[in-house]
């Protein structure tokens, strides 16, 4: 595979003092416990998906579910990670930072559950990270979480690759009223072309279903200093779907990770109708 520095920048931190998968999961457990959330593993197709949510969810008409990014997909530019559990789960931190309202979090396949306990081929965090079976499993898990809260309407918030999964899931459902992405990869074909990367051949592309999302409120945040997910990819998604370009907001001085969590309480208030 041919990978350029855009992916190297995402992997540099993994080259030294890489925490074990158990240590990475312990961090997520501790973060969730700070909000009095508990881990829950949901069997969804051939996958086991980790969720964090309140032990006793409060029934609510509307629920916000956060979807994690791609995690530790690569150790370096040529070597996939043995376990994609994120070093620092940014989407979980966003969920915890949301200022009010019922919230739950869902990790991506093979994150936090051990790669020996589920269908965890490396393809599911490399070229098949948005594969049909990944989207179907995520959709199933979301339905389970929705029932736990007795919710009728959903807001899906996806970070990075989680934004792609959120869009693909939203296209299959009729109860998603709002799609929010943070540095979301909404057109991975445009992303691959822009960075001259090997295409994600085994993955569905959110841009292909953008036209079926006109009934959903959109809010897509892109960092002005993000060299990985740039405004061009989001513009491509919106154009493909005939969606207003005003649905994209470029946040100056932010990059792919900084400074979403710190600013999230303030940013979230502007997302509310």
Q: What is the pLDDT of residues 212-255, one digit of tens each?
A: 999 999 999 999 999 999 999 999 999 999 999 999 999 999 99
The answer for residues whose C-beta is within 8 angstroms of residue 56's C-beta and 6 or more apart is none
Average pLDDT over every residue of 36-42: 98
pLDDT of residue 97: 98
9-20 residue pLDDT tens: 555 444 458 999
pLDDT of residue 27: 98
Q: What CATH architecture does domain 5-271 belong to?
A: 3-Layer(aba) Sandwich (3.40)
DSSP 118: S
**What is the dihedral angle through the alpha carbons of 216, 217, 223, 229, rounded to the nearest 10 degrees?**
10
Domain boundaries, the chain: 5-271
- How far apart are the C-alpha atoms of 99 and 94, rounded to whole Å? 10
Helices (H) and strands (E) in the chain, counts: 8, 8
> β-pairing, 47-54 with 62-67?
unpaired
The answer for residues whose C-beta is within 8 angstroms of residue 7's C-beta and 6 or more apart is 74, 77, 195, 197
Q: What angle do CA 80, 84, 90 make, to 5 degrees?
A: 125
Residues constituting the chain: 273
110-151 residue pLDDT tens: 999 998 876 899 999 999 999 999 999 999 999 999 999 999
90-104 residue pLDDT tens: 999 999 999 999 999
- How far apart are the C-alpha atoms of 95 and 101, rounded to whole Å? 10
């Amino acid at each position: 595979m041919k990978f350029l520095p855009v992916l190297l920048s995402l992997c540099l931190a993994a080259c030294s003092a890489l925490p074990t998968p158990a240590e990475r999961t312990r961090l997520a457990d501790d973060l969730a416990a700070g909000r009095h959330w508990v881990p829950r593993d949901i069997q969804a197709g051939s996958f086991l998906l980790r969720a964090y949510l309140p032990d006793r969810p409060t029934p609510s008409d509307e629920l916000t579910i956060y979807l994690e990014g791609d995690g530790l997909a690569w150790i370096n530019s040529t070597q996939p990670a043995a376990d994609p559990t994120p070093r620092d789960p940014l989407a979980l931190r966003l969920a915890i930072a949301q200022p009010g309202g019922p919230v739950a979090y869902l990790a991506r396949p093979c994150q936090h559950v051990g790669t020996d306990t589920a269908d965890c081929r490396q393809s599911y965090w490399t070229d098949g990270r948005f594969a049909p079976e990944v989207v179907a499993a995520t959709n199933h898990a979301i339905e389970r979480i929705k029932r736990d809260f007795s919710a009728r309407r959903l807001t899906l918030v996806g970070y990075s690759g989680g934004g792609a999964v959120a869009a693909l899931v939203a296209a299959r459902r009729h109860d998603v009223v709002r799609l929010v992405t943070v540095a979301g990869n909404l057109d991975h074909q445009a992303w691959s072309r822009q960075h001259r990367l090997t295409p994600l051949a085994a993955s569905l592309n959110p841009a292909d279903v953008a036209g079926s999302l006109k009934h959903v409120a959109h809010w897509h945040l892109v960092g002005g200093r993000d060299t990985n997910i740039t405004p061009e990819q989001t513009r491509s998604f919106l154009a493909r779907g005939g969606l207003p370009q005003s649905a994209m907001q470029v946040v100056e001085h932010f990059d792919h990770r900084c400074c979403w969590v710190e600013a999230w309480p303030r940013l979230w208030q502007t997302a509310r109708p």
